[in-house]
Amino acid sequence: MTHPREVAFEDLSLGVSADISWTAGVEEIEAFAALSGDRNPLHMDEAYAREHGFTDRVVHGFLLGAKVSALIGMFLPGRRCLLVEESLNFPNPVYPGDEVTLSGEVMDTHADFAQVSLKIKGEKKGGGEAQSVVRGSVLCKILS
């Protein structure tokens, strides 16, 4: 088991960043559907998704959000992170087999509240070109 990074608030300066990569899998889509109860056919039925203009089943946006949780809870800020606020949007779909790189970068710190704001980006490679699949921000409280 991987242990979360231990990052002190004082070490969270502007521009500090971390990233993780993940390949979307059918098994995770199905497990997320079971956990969340979201069995929308866009996520579960490849033929239905194709009929509606998609290349394949579409990965749940909040499955990407769960991977953002892994990024902030394990790497930046890591062990001391308590997620306070999250704003994400999903400009392009992710399909099974897509490799996604998620990154977080410190955009602001709030010493009075022991909080840090991170810019979140997620991209997949397709046709040799990176395509945005998630973007937004999170606000984390850093526990002492």
Please state the rounded mean pLDDT for residues 9-33: 95
Instruction: Give residue 4's pLDDT.
Output: 83
> Using one digit for the tens of pLDDT, what is the confidence trace for 30-78?
999 999 999 999 999 999 999 999 999 999 999 999 999 999 999 999 9
For residue 77, cis peptide bond before it (omega within 30 degrees of 0): yes
- 50: helix, coil or strand? helix
pTM: 0.91
**Residues 32, 28: Cα–Cα separation, whole Å:** 6
How many Å apart are CA 109 and CA 67, to the nearest integer?
23
Torsion sign over Cα 21, 26, 27, 32? positive
